[in-house]
Amino acid sequence: MNAPEIKSLSGHAAMPDIQGSHDHRDMPIEQVGVRGVRYPVLIAREDGSSQPSVGEFSLSVGLPAHQKGTHMSRFIELLESLNQRGISLSAASMRAALSDMLKRLAAESGIIEVSLPFFMMKAAPISGVQSMMDYRCRWSAEQIAFSAGETPALRLSCEVKVPVKSLCPCSKEISEYGAHNQRSEVTVSVTLRDDADFSVESLVRTIESQASCELWGLLKRPDEKYVTERAYDNPKFVEDLVRDVATAVRSVGGVAGYVVEAENFESIHNHSAWARIVG
Amino acid sequence: MNAPEIKSLSGHAAMPDIQGSHDHRDMPIEQVGVRGVRYPVLIAREDGSSQPSVGEFSLSVGLPAHQKGTHMSRFIELLESLNQRGISLSAASMRAALSDMLKRLAAESGIIEVSLPFFMMKAAPISGVQSMMDYRCRWSAEQIAFSAGETPALRLSCEVKVPVKSLCPCSKEISEYGAHNQRSEVTVSVTLRDDADFSVESLVRTIESQASCELWGLLKRPDEKYVTERAYDNPKFVEDLVRDVATAVRSVGGVAGYVVEAENFESIHNHSAWARIVG
Amino acid sequence: MNAPEIKSLSGHAAMPDIQGSHDHRDMPIEQVGVRGVRYPVLIAREDGSSQPSVGEFSLSVGLPAHQKGTHMSRFIELLESLNQRGISLSAASMRAALSDMLKRLAAESGIIEVSLPFFMMKAAPISGVQSMMDYRCRWSAEQIAFSAGETPALRLSCEVKVPVKSLCPCSKEISEYGAHNQRSEVTVSVTLRDDADFSVESLVRTIESQASCELWGLLKRPDEKYVTERAYDNPKFVEDLVRDVATAVRSVGGVAGYVVEAENFESIHNHSAWARIVG
Amino acid sequence: MNAPEIKSLSGHAAMPDIQGSHDHRDMPIEQVGVRGVRYPVLIAREDGSSQPSVGEFSLSVGLPAHQKGTHMSRFIELLESLNQRGISLSAASMRAALSDMLKRLAAESGIIEVSLPFFMMKAAPISGVQSMMDYRCRWSAEQIAFSAGETPALRLSCEVKVPVKSLCPCSKEISEYGAHNQRSEVTVSVTLRDDADFSVESLVRTIESQASCELWGLLKRPDEKYVTERAYDNPKFVEDLVRDVATAVRSVGGVAGYVVEAENFESIHNHSAWARIVG
């Protein structure tokens, strides 16, 4: 085995760089990096302001066959750099962070993923009272070769998880009164064509508009009456939900492709009904 | 510091017993042991048969001030012994296991907890089709001094988590049609007076009987009509649910005390409504 | 049954107040409210600044026997009020929020709990490079009667979860070289006597100082050498960890009582070693 | 809209079949079914016996554009049928279950996934004491068209999660004594070519053989000495772990392709180091 390179750090004895030594197994690694790293983040809002949140990051690069290991500390240096510069999370800053990561790691391919909660202020449908509604989103920027021999290409995607209400058309049809309904979660992941046109908030509103009824954090009685009747007037199977959301998502600005999933936490069973459309 | 005792193991060099050495900090430890141990378990059913499941165990003992450490491997030896003897989980076997653990660890106080999924076969309400319904239960056997200077006493408790359906009385009352409903989880923990009289299955059925409607794994359309109308005819706030379950639990065989919790995974919000009664 | 009170909302038909109607079951409810509510929060830091985070709230009140239900929307109104006023989370603001909640709900007892991630900037031990380290804390303010007939008293507590490194003294002693070590989590919950003297950051530093070694987000090679050797020089059983942390926590400003837990995610088993001291 | 078909159920009024009605959105659905269904399972062992466990199932089928909905209850009927016939989980029974599901649902494509804990009895390396070690596995049988216009083909895969110990080569090299080590999780998913040759237990043993050291539930002191020294003698980066496991997995009987992931729950950080190889 070739000797590891000795690097000198000012004020410390020279230490061997094991990670940088030569590897003889002839096996490249698709992804190597850090996972489950929590760091403060700012999210760029559509009104130009920033919302603070807490991100959970996964950062990785491709490692060539001849290299024994990557330098894990550089991933955290990148996060600290973004944090100190007060960078807001957006399509543009995800691209820039990916480019920065590839330079720091001297890598040709890599993936940055970050998952985080975010909030939108909503007004209740009748009373108009204001409250925050919470969602989760996940940004992903990938510079990878999607098949062997290809030049790595960049792909940017954004996923949101939107809780909604679903009401069962079958239950409504066959019952003399009432209809079972429940909380559902719609997960939409979109790949982006044109960053400038895309807004997470717009994607959320598009999804909410297709449910039996959307949710709010704070509802007064006239609002609760509205939600109840709106859902009863608007029954949807989980199949209807994914089809209607998929149709609507196509017209969201900047979207090149999508995966739509809906999961109904069934109120008549202890399991979920679930559907998925890829477009 | 006093030297650790040297124990000889046949076929191996003598090794110091660090855990058994003297501790000078003068601080007893309430609980020390293992947690997150998964082991196969059998559950004793009310019909006398056994149901296999997978338990997650927590086992701990009290450690006197003068002792540096406990012997962790003995907890796993106990689980392996229960496993090899094919012991079924019940009030009686929990008592016996606790007694066994205290002897193995030479301890005066200790707690065994095990949490596990279990199943009950249910017939749908109209069609009668059979399917399994899953629940979770947690057994706990404690030999502890509940206040300083007291002699340790044994307390045996059993907790079950039962998913049900709740339908909102307010939503029904104020809306012209429909009513929001959702999956709820009722958690009941009972301390036992008379082991012989207690049946987990009986506790589950008692809880289910108090919901807007109980759940099934498999429902045909006539069953779905029944569930929908039954819930609409039987609206309950989360407050009604805990009060009605608490009243019913009092009459379950062998129960000395109870804590009743109900959590509604609200279908109009992205958070839960929740209540708790201690009796 | 007595008729529900009819309340008029401007612009809407009068709607019955089901929750406010009389209940005949003669059963008070210890806690009723909302759970799993995510809302933006600010945390007061010891340097006087605020750190944004995302809180998960549980809010509940006691309900007298004669009252059918509580008014769930008022809990969210409280959170929105705190949010709009830019209130920072601290011992003082927890007390004020509890008082506000009891007024809004016309309740004599109640509990506010909030759990959230937070960050502290740390310098690596040798290189001095800066990075964020993440922790979790949970604040709890309770106004409850701790036994029947007592006047409700206020109790304020704060829990922190601090990840550290533990190295096994037995493994070190019996092995010719090396010693197994692993990530551990120390959870300390303190009840507060004197709010003014208490600092979460100080509690975290106190806990970290008692581990085999503390953790950092970003370490360069000289730092990794330090951490490795420091842990080897400083072996601790999970029993040592809870005893040493408990001893140190007693001297943290403002602490009236404590529960100290440590869990070692053992690197030689697929389960944890765990201990707990109540003081 | 075309009227839903009316089906008569003996003993019940005829009820409309909403799910079977015609859909006009012209949008096929890739997957629709149930998720999060817990059911008892038996696992076929390599010695011909069966081990009971608890499975969490996801079952779905493709839905043609013209069909409004699937019939969810048939998925549960399949699980109940497998349960009543005492079917043991294996490559062969996964194939048969998939075929059964497609017939029941009159579908051309579909996926069955089941995730479950399982146990292997292990003897400690020096003392030979026996204890159970827990793992997780996930079986997946897919009959899908992997690109547009293709005939659906069957793909069978099996994933196992194996906890092991990793010891850092860099830490060992640069430190005068000791080396940081931690629990790691290796996840290997293999697609199967020849079912008959494949054994889950063999895959687990292959993975364990490549770690710095494997884990056991129960270790006596001479075993702990062995594990400590074995890991110190056998340091591996997360990159070494995925490369060595990938190399070894290639020679496991019946394996056509693999994805190898390793995650080190770093004992010097509060995040993981992680790597992935696809082969």
pLDDT tier at D13, thresholds 50, 70, 90: low
Mean pLDDT of chain C: 93
> What's the angle, vertex CA C61, arms to CA C56 and CA C65, rounded to 5?
150
Could you give the residue ranges of the DSSP H alpha helices within chain B?
Answer: 73-84, 91-105, 169-174, 200-208, 221-232, 238-249
Helix (H) or strand (E) holding A36: strand A29-44
Residue B169 has pLDDT above 60, yes or no: yes
Predicted confidence at residue A148, as pLDDT, reads 66
Q: What integer pLDDT is reported at residue A146 of this predicted model?
A: 63
Task: Establish how many alpha carbons lie within 13 A of residue A11's alpha carbon, considering only the half-sphere containing its beta carbon.
Answer: 6
Structural tokens at position C116: 């959230």
Q: Which helix (H) or strand (E) holds D100?
A: helix D91-105
State the average pLDDT over residues C214-239.
98
Mean pLDDT across C220-240: 98
Asked which of A264-268, B19-23, C214-218, D118-122 is least confident by mean pLDDT, the reply is B19-23
Q: What per-residue confidence (pLDDT) applies to A135?
A: 98
Q: For C244, which DSSP code? A: H
Question: How far apart (Å, rounded) are the C-alpha atoms in residues D36 and B25?
Answer: 49
Write down all domains in chain D, each with its CATH number in brackets: 29-278 (3.10.270.10)
Mean pLDDT of B52-70: 97
d(CA C190, CA C207): 12
Q: Do residues A2 and A47 make contact, with C-beta atoms less than 8 angstroms apart? A: no
Three-class SS state of A236:
coil
Contacts of D224 in chain C (CB under 8 A): 168, 170-171, 174-175, 180, 268
DSSP state of C249: H
Q: Which regions of C8-109 does DSSP assign to beta strands (E)?
A: 15-17, 29-44, 50-63, 88-89
**ipTM for the predicted complex:** 0.93
User: Strand pairing of D29-44 and D50-63?
Assistant: antiparallel
On the question of pLDDT at B259 being above 50, the answer is yes
Residues of chain A with pLDDT > 70, as a percent, come to 94
For the segment B19-27, the average pLDDT, to the nearest whole number, is 90
Look up residue A170 and give its two tokens.
């079958």
Confirm or reject contact between D218 and chain B (CB < 8 A): yes
Q: Is the Cβ pair D39, B134 closer than 8 Å?
A: yes
Query: In Å, how far are B29, C196, C215 from C209, measured between CA atoms?
Result: 20, 23, 11
Q: Are D62 and D107 in contact (CB under 8 A)?
A: yes
User: Number of CB pairs < 8 Å for C and D?
Assistant: 127
Q: How many inter-chain contacts (A to D, CB under 8 Å) are there? A: 142
CB B215 within 8 A of CB B155: no
Range with lowest mean pLDDT among A67-81, B190-204, D68-82: B190-204
The SS3 call for residue A209 is: coil
Tell me if A265 sits within 8 A of A183, measured CB to CB.
yes
Average pLDDT, chain D: 93
Question: Whole-angstrom Cα distance, residue C156 to residue A261?
Answer: 43
Q: Are B59 and B34 in contact (CB under 8 A)?
A: yes
| pLDDT at res. A120 | 98
Terminal Cα distance for chain A, rounded: 50
Pairing of strands B88-89, B29-44: parallel
pLDDT above 80 for A8: no
pLDDT above 50: residue B2? no
Pairing of strands B272-278, C29-44: antiparallel
**Closest to C182 (Cα-Cα) out of A31, B62, D212:** D212
Percent over 90 (pLDDT), chain B: 86
Among B272, B268, D169, which residue's Cα sits nearest to residue C221?
Answer: D169
Give the span between the Cα atoms of B182 and B178, in whole angstroms. 13
Q: Which stretches of C183-279 are DSSP H helices? A: 200-208, 221-232, 238-249
Identify the pLDDT of residue A147. Answer: 67
Chain D contact for B77, CB < 8 A?
yes
Handedness of CA D123, D124, D125, D128 (dihedral sign): negative
What is the pLDDT confidence band of residue A3, given thresholds at 50, 70 and 90? Answer: very low
Instruction: Name every residue whose Cβ is closer than 8 Å to that of residue A264 and which is 6 or more positions away in sequence.
Output: A166, A182, A184, A238, A241, A272, A273, A274
Q: Tell whether A225 lies on the interface with B, counting CB pairs under 8 A.
A: yes
pLDDT band at B13 (very low <50, low <70, confident <90, very high): low
Q: Is the pLDDT of residue C232 over 70?
A: yes
CA-closest candidate to residue A211, choices A244, A259, A256: A244
pLDDT score of D153: 86
Contact A231 B180 (CB under 8 A): yes
Residue A14 has pLDDT above 70, yes or no: yes
In this structure, what token pair is assigned to residue B198? 């207690």
Name the token pair of C49: 């600044």
Helix (H, G, I), strand (E, B) or coil at C157: strand
Spatial CA neighbour of B267 closest among B180, B169, B165: B180
Q: Do A269 and B219 touch (CB under 8 A)?
A: yes
Q: Which of A175, A177, A215 sits opposite B269 (nearest CB)?
A: A215
Q: Does C117 touch chain A (CB under 8 A)?
A: yes
B5 pLDDT higher than 50: no
Angle at the Cα of A263 from the Cα atoms of A260 and A269, rounded to 5 degrees: 160
Q: Is the pLDDT of residue D2 over 60?
A: no
**Closest of A271, A277, A95 to residue A188, by C-alpha:** A277
List of E strands, B145-227: 153-167, 181-192, 213-214
Query: Is 50 exceeded by the pLDDT of residue D3?
Result: no
Q: Annotate D188-208 with DSSP letters as a single string.
A: EEEEES-GGG--HHHHHHHHH
User: Cα(B135)–Cα(B119) distance, rounded to whole angstroms?
Assistant: 6
Q: Which residues contact B165 (CB under 8 A, 6 or more apart)?
A: A180, A267, A268, B181, B182, B183, B184, B211, B212, B213, B214, B215, B227, B231
Please report which confidence band the pLDDT of residue C195 belongs to, taking 50, 70 and 90 as the band edges. Answer: confident
Give the pLDDT confidence score for residue A181 in this predicted structure: 98
Distance CA A151, CA A155 (A): 13
Q: Do A247 and D25 touch (CB under 8 A)?
A: yes
- Is the per-residue pLDDT at D7 higher than 60? no
* B12 has a pLDDT exceeding 60: no
- Across the interface, whether the CB atoms of A216 and B268 are under 8 A apart is answered yes
Give the Cα separation of D123 and B31 in Å (integer): 29
Rounded CA separation C97/C123 (Å): 35
* Mean pLDDT of chain B, nearest integer: 93
* Residue B215 with chain A: CB contacts under 8 Å: 268-270
Residue D25 CB coordination number (10 Å): 14
pLDDT band, residue C130 (cuts 50/70/90): very high
Say whether residue C134 is in contact with chain B using an 8 A CB cutoff. Answer: no
Residue closest to A226 by CA, chosen among A212, A239, A210 = A212
CA distance linking residue B157 with residue C269, whole number of Å: 29
- The answer to whether the beta carbons of residues C172 and C223 sit under 8 Å apart is no
pTM score of the predicted model:
0.94
Interface membership of D133 toward C (CB under 8 Å): yes
pLDDT tens for each residue of B195-212? 778 999 999 999 999 999
Q: How far apart are CA A73 and CA D201, in angstroms?
A: 36
CA atoms within 13 A of residue A278's CA, in its CB half-sphere: 7
What mean pLDDT comes out for the span A116-141? Answer: 98
- Candidates D164, D162, D118; CA nearest to D252 is D162
pLDDT band per the 50, 70, 90 thresholds, residue C176? very high
Cα–Cα distance for residue pair B256/B156, rounded to 1 Å: 10
For residue C160, name the pLDDT band (cuts at 50, 70, 90): very high
Please tell me the least confidently modeled range out of B192-201, B236-245, C255-264: B192-201
What are φ and ψ of residue C43, in 5° steps? -115, 130
Residue B16: pLDDT band by 50, 70, 90 thresholds?
Answer: confident
As given in the structure block, the two tokens for residue B35 are 């947690």
| Mean pLDDT value across residues B89-117 | 97
Compute the mean pLDDT over every residue in chain A, rounded to the nearest whole number: 93
pLDDT (tens digit, 9 = 90+) per residue, A25-58? 999 999 999 999 999 999 999 999 999 999 999 9
Interior CA angle at D130 toward D127 and D133, to 5°? Answer: 120
- Are residues B276 and C27, on separate chains, in Cβ contact within 8 Å? no
Question: Mean pLDDT over residues C36-56, rounded?
Answer: 96
Query: What counts of helices (H) and strands (E) characterise chain C?
Result: 6, 12
Interface A:B, Cβ pairs < 8 A: 127
A15 touching D (Cβ < 8 Å): yes
What pLDDT sits at residue D150? 76
Searching chain D, which residue's CA lies closest to the CA of residue A262? D32
Q: What is the mean pLDDT of residues D94-98?
A: 97
pLDDT over threshold 80, residue C167: yes
Among the partner-chain residues D40, D73, D218, the one whose CB lies closest to the CB of B119 is D40
Q: pLDDT at position D6, please? A: 47
How far apart are the C-alpha atoms of D96 and D195, rounded to whole Å? 13
Q: Report the pLDDT averaged over residues C106-116.
A: 97
Among A38, A218, A222, whose Cβ lies nearest the Cβ of C12?
A222
CA distance linking residue A256 with residue D69, whole number of Å: 27
User: Rounded to 5 degrees, what angle do the CA atoms D142, D146, D151 make?
Assistant: 85
Check residue D66 and give its pLDDT. 95
Measure in Å the smallest separation between the Cα of B224 and chain A Cα atoms. 6
d(CA B80, CA B87) in angstroms, rounded, equals 10
Mutation target among A228, A234, A236, A237 for the B interface, most CBs of B within 10 A:
A228
* Contact (CB, 8 A) for D17 and B224: no
The single-letter code of the amino acid at A175 is S
Q: What is the pLDDT of residue B147?
A: 67
- The half-sphere exposure of D101 on its side-chain side, counting CA atoms within 13 A, is 31
